[in-house]
Structure 1
């Protein structure tokens, strides 16, 4: 391991410098910590094609265990939002770009990210069907007497009334953006796809403080 890390240290520092210039919200030291964390996560990935990055299973584990996400469909969409080149792996650059919005994004960045997550078929609109699908997924946890689908259809209509400014029965990006700016709570209207403050704090402590203390022979 030590030989490996000695060989990697210069590369990691160089990569961190490059990425911290390309990606907002992380300085060079933080980028370096995130690269080390990424390498650590790759280390125990069973798939031998680790050169490509984190696979879906590995990434979902992080979303579930570290950020407390439970909705399979949303976790899948978050994976796709991070995996910008659609090669089914989150590369180190995609990891850092994704986390920059996930952990520290501005409201505008988060609006764009949430919209991408919710636009299931990528056509630039969130349709009634997509809303229904996501709300059904995220809301129904207990069996009820009445037909739960009816309640969800009502919810979709209420949501459309509130967010569909151009009245075309679907949400464009402009609709979504305007609605969220008017009422920030609507950012995650269709499912939890961002970590809460507590998870962010825990992750940042793990990522940015631990590595420097744990590797005694850092210099």
Structure 2
């Protein structure tokens, strides 16, 4: 269902007002791109948005993001209402954070991507999953899982400020507070568990 020119103008005006990162002409371009992507998507969402497949293909071709696990998590961070499709508002807001977000916004975004089960912590298992997916394992490597487990332990020691003091049960979970503190001390830790931001040249 193509929108009238007046409808598009009203939508662009509304999204421009709420967007912290894009000006009006940029929002207009994003809305046009959104319409193109919706046309490619399955008609299941009746023009309201596009699905995971179109989203993955778009991020892959635009930003070279290829990791399926990461792309699924990025989709989930964009899809705020959990309806399985990206709406135009989610599209503009999500790209704002992805491309021009503040450090604060990017920390929340990366943390959400790494928190695979959405419980508010990045667990040992989640770190392991993310690192296993993002590291290149050489066929000659003996027991690559052991090396990844070592990396997880190093990451926990580096990032969990409370790890040695209060983590009596050694559940090895990283809270957002720990993640935030570690990233503020060392910005390179933002993508510690795998690349989830576009590599913009």
TM-score by length of 1: 0.84
Shift of 1:142: 2.9
Counterpart for residue 53 of structure 2: 57
Shift of 1:192: 1.1
Q: How big is each residue's C-alpha offset from its partner over 1:103-148, in whole Å with a ceiling of 9 and x where there is no partner?
A: 1001000000000010011111000010011101111343234100
Shift of 1:86: 0.4
Counterpart for residue 188 of structure 2: 185
Counterpart for residue 156 of structure 1: 152
2:30 to 29, 34, 45: 34
More displaced, 12-21 or 133-142? 133-142
**Aligned length in residues:** 193
CA distance in 2, matches of 1:72, 1:90: 17
Structure 1: 4+ residue segments shifted above 4 A: none
Counterpart for residue 203 of structure 1: none
Q: Find out whether 1:197 has 2:200 as its counterpart.
A: yes
Shift of 1:95: 0.2
Q: Report the secondary structure of 1:90's partner residue.
A: coil
Q: How big is each residue's C-alpha offset from its partner over 1:65-105, in whole Å with a ceiling of 9 and x where there is no partner?
A: 11101111000000000000000000000000100101100
CA distance in 1, matches of 2:127, 2:41: 34
Q: For the Cα contact (< 8 Å) 2:40–2:54, is it kept in 1?
A: no
Counterpart for residue 170 of structure 1: 173
Counterpart for residue 94 of structure 2: 98
Q: How big is each residue's C-alpha offset from its partner over 1:151-188, in whole Å with a ceiling of 9 and x where there is no partner?
A: 00000000001000111321100000011111111101
Q: Find out whether 1:125 has 2:121 as its counterpart.
A: yes
More displaced, 116-125 or 44-53? 44-53
Structure 2 runs not aligned, ≥5 long = none
More displaced, 41-50 or 51-60? 41-50
CA distance in 1, matches of 2:34, 2:58: 11
TM-score by length of 2: 0.92
